[in-house]
Structure 1
Amino acid sequence: MNNQTRLNERWPGRLALMVAHCAGMVDLVALPVWVGALISHYGLTPQRAGALATLFLLGAVAASLFWSPRFHRARPALVAPCGFALAALAFVGLAGTGDFALMALLHALAGAAAGSALSMTHGSMGRSRNPHRMFALAGMALGVFAIAFLGLTPGLVATAGGAALFLVFAGVMLVAAAVAAVAFPTGDAAAAGTGHAAAPGRLSTAVWFAALGIACMGLVQAMLFSFLERIGVDRGFTPAAVTGVLIALGFVNLLPAPLAALLQRRWPARRVVLGGPVVQAALALTIATSSGYLPYAIAGALFAAVMIFTHTFAFGLVAQLDPGGRALSATPAMLMVGAAIGPLLGGTLVQHAGYGMLGSAAVALAVLAVYCFAQAGRHPATAAAPT
């Protein structure tokens, strides 16, 4: 770890990071139900529903950009539980209002609070002995969480209304706050006493290219995923059939993180991040243009898994480029600056050009992502062996 504060790794701390990752990355699992509930239960247009999800993600981006340059002197074990607790309060407020302006404000506040906690989580993962493996463990936890969330929440929202969704979110954040308060890991005291982590250098150009590549994939993920449920409904598939795709997606999401951990030393991260955007765009194009249920179902079930698998390798890649954790504390900004644009952009394209335009936009963004990852892969640090 080269004079950086190394994470004090014990299993309670790892489990706390896994729970915090699930809560902070709830959008990666919940966007179809989230946007669908805003449209069907609150009567919002696709554009306005997407805008609310965008405000949550923009809040997370702003928080990540605030904390990233300050991560080396922050107290993650304090910021993380406080952030999740504040997010829980914001979601409780959302469950009690239907006023669009107030909903917009509370979405932004919830995003900023959860994004602060997630920045501390990912920055702490970056200080672990093997960031790639730690992120893969968190991805496995997210897969389990996705099964539970997507198996239970759509039916609950259908019967109890949109407010139930926000109460579920509040419960998720409250659990994460409690776990983080009890077990969130701290830096190793001996390493912290050296003082070397107090003055990080400038981030390399390769890190910025990698960040932009991740942002492009996050944009495609959010843009398509936000409307996965609505695409199925508007094409005449039964609610049970669409819910079946979401449940299948949850089970499929169990696979990419452990697979990424197994392949860490076999597949070079540079090649994985080049292929990920291409596969993601192909699935997005299938979802956006196919009129048959089988192609829609297969592509929909696999769609999020590509992001989880590729992002695990990208996380390890950035950890090699900046082992102190500062760049990785900006992971929410890398991922969510694209994801923040996604729901609003997707809603605008759907409202004015139809679902097919989502596929075309995904292909264009994949080209940009491949270029950025190719530039990041030219940095000599990417050839280093995993720690």
Structure 2
Amino acid sequence: MPVSQPEINYPSPALANARALMIAVVVLAAIAPSLLMTAPAVAAQLATQWALAPAQIGNLFMAELGAMSLATLPAFWWLRRVDLRQAGVLAGVLFVAGNLLSAFVSDYNALMLLRIVAGLGGGSLMILCMSCAASLSNASRVYGLWVLGQLALGAVGLQVLPVLFARYGLMACYLSLAVLMALALPLVRAFPARLNAKQGTVSATLPTGRAALGLLAILCFYLSLSGVWTFIGGIASQASITAQDSGQVLAIATLMGIVGAACTTLIGDRWPRTPLLIGGYALMIGAVLLLQDTPTALRFAVAALLFKFTWTLVLPLILAGIADLDPSGRLMNASNLVIGAGLAIGPGVAGQLIQASGDYRTTLLSAAALTLLSLLLALACRRTPAAIA
């Protein structure tokens, strides 16, 4: 009598493709904006090694992140017309080349130009990742994983970069980015050749007013977080907290950020978003205010951990709300423009405010106000009353 074999359920090709695409989105979207995740360490090294003033550091970040944002403008044309896999390879090569050359320059203006080149490549990859992610189910979970990948790389970077900086200087950062992207670039094979019909056309029912409010919410959010995060190491230094102690706190804070993103990923669409948004935003504002007036080591640690946890808890919820407004993916492309603008302008404006006032009070109060405004805009842009339950 023949013995029956247990039935093996293999994943369907569609499911396997979706998993491969999600891995590509998470990995590539982690490497492309990793300068932001490690901004405190990089900013401190620029100040030490190159003796740059806060305004110069802010302008350098603004140039790169602004280029990431401007990459969105040509993408409105090429995103629906070219093979996305080829576009991903070209963007990755641009990113690698910009970082390789950055490692060997010693002139401020030359470094800024090369950071713009790297920013254009990284921004194009981010557009591809965000547009492809819009085709996957459960937006909150997908964008939670998207943020989670960025934070995991940031946590490693904040631990490793200070050690590498002590031995090799700033070039260690740029060479590491080039190597990571070169290793991850084969993942672009998971991208579809073209955006599907759902993604390739703008929804006829797109609520443009709510879309504008949602994009403004993202802009205010990134203006606040990039201004605070870039100079949080300087806040610690002014409070006489050693670089080693602040580095350990920021590394732990990044782990707390991973916890925040993981919470959103696990929750998915099972819990109402509005209570999570309000609670997360309120705690983020509290964290910013805790950094004021020369914080003690304990207060600095609490503020940094709370800031990173709430930042990553809230962000996937905002992005999921934007995805709900327009399933075509075109609005997510516009979101990349706004994210890049916030990341670019935030450090530049914060650096100017710090240099003009001589302290961080004005910058932190402005960041708290922008965070509150972002909350109000995020609530106002919700698609239906049922969506904000």
CA–CA distance in 2 between the matches of 1:382 and 1:70?
Answer: 36
CA–CA distance in 2 between the matches of 1:82 and 1:285?
Answer: 43
Match of 1:321 in 2: 325
CA–CA distance in 2 between the matches of 1:185 and 1:178?
Answer: 10
CA–CA distance in 2 between the matches of 1:174 and 1:210?
Answer: 34
Equivalent positions of 1:82-231 (< 5 A) are: 82-180=90-188, 183-186=189-192, 192=196, 195=197, 197-201=199-203, 203=206, 204-231=208-235
Of residues 205-214 and 6-15 in structure 1, the stretch that sits farther from structure 2 once superposed is: 6-15
The 8 Å contact of residues 216 and 365 in structure 1, kept in 2 or not, is answered as yes
Aligned-residue offset at 1:141 = 2.3
Aligned-residue offset at 1:67 = 1.4
The 8 Å contact of residues 38 and 49 in structure 1, kept in 2 or not, is answered as yes
Aligned residues: 373
CA–CA distance in 2 between the matches of 1:197 and 1:83?
Answer: 21
Match of 1:3 in 2: none
Larger Rg: 2
Structure 2 vs 1, CA of residues 291 and 274 (structure 1 numbering), >3 Å: closer, same or farther? closer
CA–CA distance in 1 between the matches of 2:274 and 2:73?
Answer: 25
CA–CA distance in 2 between the matches of 1:64 and 1:290?
Answer: 39
SS in 1 for 2:30: helix
SS in 2 for 1:324: coil
Structure 2 length normalisation: TM-score? Answer: 0.88
Match of 2:42 in 1: 34
2:289 pairs with 1:281? no
Aligned-residue offset at 1:114 = 0.4
Superimposed CA distance per residue, residues 76-113 of structure 1 (whole angstroms, 9 cap, x where no aligned partner): 32222321221111111111112111111111111111
2:63 pairs with 1:58? no
SS in 2 for 1:327: helix
Structure 2 vs 1, CA of residues 22 and 320 (structure 1 numbering), >3 Å: closer, same or farther? same
Of residues 6-15 and 356-365 in structure 1, the stretch that sits farther from structure 2 once superposed is: 6-15
SS in 2 for 1:255: helix
CA RMSD after TM alignment: 2.4
The 8 Å contact of residues 29 and 125 in structure 2, kept in 1 or not, is answered as no
- Matching residue within 347, 366, 375 for 1:361: 366
The 8 Å contact of residues 80 and 118 in structure 1, kept in 2 or not, is answered as no
CA–CA distance in 2 between the matches of 1:110 and 1:382?
Answer: 42
Structure 2 vs 1, CA of residues 384 and 200 (structure 1 numbering), >3 Å: closer, same or farther? farther
Aligned-residue offset at 1:373 = 1.4
Q: What letter corresponds to residue 202 of structure 2 in structure 1? A: P
Aligned-residue offset at 1:382 = 6.7
The 8 Å contact of residues 73 and 198 in structure 1, kept in 2 or not, is answered as no
Aligned-residue offset at 1:74 = 4.2
2:308 pairs with 1:304? yes
Aligned-residue offset at 1:178 = 3.3
Match of 1:345 in 2: 349
CA–CA distance in 1 between the matches of 2:74 and 2:48?
Answer: 35
CA–CA distance in 2 between the matches of 1:106 and 1:160?
Answer: 20
CA–CA distance in 1 between the matches of 2:137 and 2:165?
Answer: 41
- Matching residue within 363, 378, 385 for 1:373: 378
- Matching residue within 244, 267, 284 for 2:271: 267
CA–CA distance in 2 between the matches of 1:225 and 1:364?
Answer: 16
Aligned-residue offset at 1:49 = 0.8
Structure 2 vs 1, CA of residues 70 and 271 (structure 1 numbering), >3 Å: closer, same or farther? farther
CA–CA distance in 2 between the matches of 1:200 and 1:350?
Answer: 42
CA–CA distance in 2 between the matches of 1:197 and 1:347?
Answer: 39
- Matching residue within 234, 248, 252 for 2:252: 248
Structure 2 vs 1, CA of residues 81 and 322 (structure 1 numbering), >3 Å: closer, same or farther? same
CA–CA distance in 1 between the matches of 2:15 and 2:185?
Answer: 20
SS in 1 for 2:42: helix
Structure 2 vs 1, CA of residues 158 and 330 (structure 1 numbering), >3 Å: closer, same or farther? farther
The 8 Å contact of residues 278 and 375 in structure 2, kept in 1 or not, is answered as yes
Q: Where do 4+ consecutive residues of structure 1 move more than 6 Å?
A: none
SS in 2 for 1:254: helix
Of residues 19-28 and 63-72 in structure 1, the stretch that sits farther from structure 2 once superposed is: 63-72
Superimposed CA distance per residue, residues 161-214 of structure 1 (whole angstroms, 9 cap, x where no aligned partner): 12222212222332332332xx43316x9x94xx56544246522122111101
Structure 2 vs 1, CA of residues 295 and 74 (structure 1 numbering), >3 Å: closer, same or farther? farther
Aligned-residue offset at 1:8 = 7.7
Equivalent positions of 1:13-24 (< 5 A) are: 13-24=21-32
Of residues 28-37 and 43-52 in structure 1, the stretch that sits farther from structure 2 once superposed is: 28-37
Structure 1: tracts of 5 or more residues without a match: 1-5
The 8 Å contact of residues 217 and 366 in structure 1, kept in 2 or not, is answered as yes
CA–CA distance in 2 between the matches of 1:196 and 1:302?
Answer: 38
The 8 Å contact of residues 34 and 153 in structure 2, kept in 1 or not, is answered as no
Structure 2 vs 1, CA of residues 275 and 334 (structure 1 numbering), >3 Å: closer, same or farther? farther
CA–CA distance in 2 between the matches of 1:149 and 1:83?
Answer: 22
The 8 Å contact of residues 69 and 326 in structure 1, kept in 2 or not, is answered as no
Structure 1 length normalisation: TM-score? Answer: 0.89
CA–CA distance in 1 between the matches of 2:35 and 2:139?
Answer: 22
The 8 Å contact of residues 98 and 118 in structure 2, kept in 1 or not, is answered as yes
CA–CA distance in 2 between the matches of 1:140 and 1:131?
Answer: 14
Aligned-residue offset at 1:154 = 1.6
Q: What letter corresponds to residue 79 of structure 2 in structure 1? A: F
CA–CA distance in 1 between the matches of 2:119 and 2:198?
Answer: 32
